[in-house]
Amino acid sequence: MSGYAPSEAARRSGFSLDTLRYYEKIGLLADVERTAGGQRVFTDDDLGWLVLFRCLRDTGMPIAQMRRYAQLAREGEHTADERRELLRHHAVRVEEQMRLLQRQYDHLREKIRFYERLPEPVSATEHATGIGPAVSR
């Protein structure tokens, strides 16, 4: 069903009112419908877009790229290939991001293990292994 007030759209999408207005202003979200008095009425389609923007934003896509995707979609079906490639390319970067995050998380866990297993003394290999608590000189 269609027709969400701004506050409702904000609640459902998880974006702030200001962010919704901002996304429309910069042309990320297409012009939102209005009441006779000029107040926004968000549709299910708008909400669908917001879900997508949240996905892309959470995975680190810059706004400029999201806007490019949105503009392509507005141009019609003939841009489907380019949109797919844009998403595929982004997915590759997300995979890299996930690998890096996992690697640094492992590193972090080792550092925590160091604290748990060494209540007092500080080993000489601390800095050579990059694992120790990096206590200052």
The 41-80 site mask, x for binding DNA (CB under 7 A), equals ----------------x----xxx----------------
Q: Candidates 3, 16, 109, 125: give the one binding a second copy (CB under 8 A).
A: 109
Residue 94 partner contact from DNA, a second copy, none using kind-dependent CB cut-offs of 5 to 8 Å: a second copy
> Which of DNA, a second copy, none does 130 bind, CB closer than 5 to 8 A by kind?
a second copy
Q: Are 46 and 9 in contact (CB under 8 A)?
A: yes
Selected binder of a second copy within 16, 48, 123, 125 (CB under 8 A): 48
For the CB of residue 64, give the shortest distance to DNA in the complex, in Å: 6
Q: What is the 3-class SS of 52-108, one letter each residue?
A: HHHHHHHCCCCHHHHHHHHHHHHHCHHHHHHHHHHHHHHHHHHHHHHHHHHHHHHHH
CA 82, CA 31: separation in Å to the nearest integer?
23
> Which class for 107: exposed (0-12), middle (13-18), buried (19 or more C-beta within 10 A)?
exposed
Beta bridge partners, 4, equal 42
What residue ranges bind a second copy (CB under 8 A)?
A: 30, 43-45, 47-49, 51-52, 54-56, 58-59, 70, 73-74, 77, 80, 83-84, 87-88, 90-91, 94-95, 97-98, 100-102, 104-105, 107-109, 111-112, 115-116, 119-120, 122, 126-128, 130, 132-137
